[in-house]
């Protein structure tokens, strides 16, 4: 069952004009990511927040950022309204004092304080943090390519006709 939770949150992020759909953070989703040895990018945000809007419009539509986020379990705590109990606990646990705020948790489940971002400083700082977070993630192995044909050519089953007509001129 834990695998299903992580799979739901680690689907490929699709670039949209206003940024990707980001699942709401739950304590269970973060625990599931740890169990599956997946890093977490946790965004604290709100629709009414101008720097959050800028981050969503600029960084969260950037192809290289989306490719890096696709290697993580990307979740959000939304402060547009009152956050749920998990959101409040996560904000308290990570000492969130303003938004946008991003917390990065490695595949071992350890918070990476040096990567934490308070405020929005542009695409490049976010990209650097994500590159460091995902640096140890190896790409999925590609299937082996062989130069040998996979099947032998079939032997000829009919003999060429000896009474072949000559071509006309």
What is the tens place of the pLDDT at every residue in 43-85?
Answer: 999 999 999 999 999 999 999 999 999 999 999 999 998 889 9
Domain that residue 110 falls in: 2-134
Residues 6+ apart with CB under 8 A from 141: none
DSSP string, 70-109: TTSEEEEEE-SS---HHHHHHHHHTT--SSSEEEEE-TTS
With 50 as the cut, is the pLDDT of residue 1 above it? no
Percent of the chain with pLDDT over 70: 70
Q: What is the pLDDT of residue 156?
A: 58
Residue 166 lies in a domain: no
Residue 119 placed within a domain: yes
Judge whether 142 lies within some domain. no
**Residue whose entry in the numeric block shows the structure tokens 């934490």:** 116
- pLDDT at site 157: 57
The pLDDT confidence band at residue 103, using thresholds 50, 70 and 90, is very high
Q: What is the mean pLDDT of the chain?
A: 81
Number of domains in the chain: 1
Indicate whether 114 belongs to any domain: yes
pLDDT at 159: 56
Provide the CATH number for the domain around residue 31: 3.40.30.10
pLDDT band at 18 (very low <50, low <70, confident <90, very high): low
Say if 158 falls within a structural domain. Answer: no
* Residue scoring higher pLDDT (131 or 162): 131
Q: Does any domain span residue 118?
A: yes
What's the Cα-to-Cα distance from 136 to each of 34, 39, 153, rounded to whole Å? 15, 10, 44
Evaluate whether residue 18 is within a structural domain.
yes
Average pLDDT over residues 103-108: 94
Model pTM above 0.75: no
Quickly count: other Cβ atoms within 10 Å of residue 62's Cβ.
Answer: 17
In a domain, 169, yes or no: no
């Amino acid at each position: 069952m834990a695998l299903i939770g992580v799979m739901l949150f680690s689907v490929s992020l699709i670039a949209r004009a206003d940024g990707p759909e980001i699942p709401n953070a739950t304590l269970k989703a973060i625990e599931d990511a740890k169990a599956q040895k997946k890093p977490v990018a946790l965004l604290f945000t709100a629709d009414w927040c101008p720097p959050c809007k800028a981050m969503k419009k600029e960084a969260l539509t950037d192809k290289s950022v989306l490719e890096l986020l696709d290697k993580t379990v990307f979740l959000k705590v939304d402060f547009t309204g009152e956050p749920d109990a998990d959101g409040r606990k996560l904000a308290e646990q990570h000492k969130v004092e303003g938004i946008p705020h991003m917390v990065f948790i490695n595949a071992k489940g350890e918070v990476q304080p040096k990567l934490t971002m308070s405020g929005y400083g542009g695409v490049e700082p976010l990209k650097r943090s994500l590159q460091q977070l995902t640096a140890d993630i190896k790409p999925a192995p590609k299937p082996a390519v062989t130069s040998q044909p996979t099947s032998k050519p079939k032997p000829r089953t009919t003999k060429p006709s000896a009474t072949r007509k000559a071509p006309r001129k």
